[in-house]
């Protein structure tokens, strides 16, 4: 997504069109210019949002990656809603396997989509407001996406009885994801701070430093506790 959706050519110009004029003439907007102004702003924002959605997800370039990402986001929001609305429905829904599977597909499409990214870049580039992602980081994400798929299935009421029905299957399912880890690239938190003066603004650097160390300590806690 190389272009900026907030570009002047992309955003709506409320002053160009009076959206209020398209409404039913029985609405007394002429007597209150503030209502007309507010309606113009609201309709302008709606049109901007529609254009933004099209710009992000329906352009021909990288279309497969865009549509997979849209599918993931829709499932994610639906899962979030269902989790708090009706947990029993959530844990027995298709989202238990479709959401992490879509995440893995999204990571896989990224591998074949963003092949033009640097393969030698030391800094992974995530959360950077000046730099770009590195290709090894893109590839590495597919490992963690597959790991999440394993974990979702393992803790699912649908799949857990089968996976624990045999000690062999159970152990393979628990330890198998970590055995081929060496086949994936590895990006470190330490390297992500490399050359920060050039790849990040001062404000972004502070944010990145905090987020990186929170994530790092979470990984340490998760590996030893969860």
pLDDT score, position 9: 52
Residue 226 inside a domain? The answer is no
221 in a structural domain? no
Res 7 pLDDT > 60? no
Q: How far apart are CA 161 and CA 170, in angstroms?
A: 10
Tens of pLDDT, residues 187-215: 887 777 777 777 788 888 888 888 888 88
Tokens found for residue 212 = 């990186």
Whether residue 202 is contained in a domain is answered as: no
Cα–Cα distance list, 100 to 36, 76, 97, 153, 179 (Å): 46, 9, 6, 9, 20
Q: Are residues 45 and 68 part of one domain?
A: no
What tokens appear for 6 in the block? 């907030």
* Full domain range(s) for residue 26: 1-59
pLDDT tens across 100-118, in order? Answer: 999 999 999 999 999 999 8
Asked whether residue 28 carries a pLDDT value surpassing 60, the answer given is no
Residue 28 CA to residue 47 CA, distance in Å, equals 23
The answer to the question of residue 208 being in a domain is no
pTM above 0.85, yes or no: no
Q: How much is the pLDDT for 8? A: 46
Cα–Cα distance measured from residue 116 to residue 207, given in angstroms and rounded to the nearest whole number = 27
72-77, long-range: CB < 8 A, 24+ apart: 72/99, 72/102, 72/103, 72/106, 75/99, 75/102
Would you place residue 1 in the very low, low, confident or very high pLDDT band (cuts 50, 70, 90)?
A: very low
Q: Are residues 82 and 189 in the same domain?
A: yes
220 domain residue, yes or no: no
């Amino acid at each position: 997504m190389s272009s900026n959706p907030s570009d002047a050519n992309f955003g709506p110009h409320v002053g160009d069109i009076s959206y209020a004029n398209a409404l039913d003439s029985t609405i007394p907007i002429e007597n209150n210019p503030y209502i007309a102004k507010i309606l113009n702003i609201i309709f302008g924002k709606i049109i901007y949002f529609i254009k933004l959605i099209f710009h992000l997800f329906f352009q021909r370039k990288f279309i497969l990656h865009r549509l997979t990402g849209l599918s993931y986001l829709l499932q994610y929001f639906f899962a979030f809603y269902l989790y708090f609305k009706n947990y029993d429905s959530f844990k027995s829904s298709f989202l238990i396997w479709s959401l992490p599977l879509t995440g893995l597909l999204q990571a896989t499409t990224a591998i074949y989509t963003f092949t033009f990214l640097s393969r030698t870049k030391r800094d992974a580039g995530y959360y950077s407001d000046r730099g770009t992602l590195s290709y090894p980081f893109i590839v590495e994400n597919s490992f963690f996406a597959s790991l999440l798929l394993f974990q979702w299935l393992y803790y699912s009421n649908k799949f857990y009885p089968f996976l624990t029905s045999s000690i062999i299957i159970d152990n393979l399912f628990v330890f198998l994801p970590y055995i081929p880890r060496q086949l994936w690239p590895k990006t470190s938190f330490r390297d992500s701070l490399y050359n920060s003066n050039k790849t990040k603004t001062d404000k972004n650097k502070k944010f990145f430093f905090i987020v990186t160390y929170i994530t790092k300590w979470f990984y340490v806690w998760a590996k030893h506790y969860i």
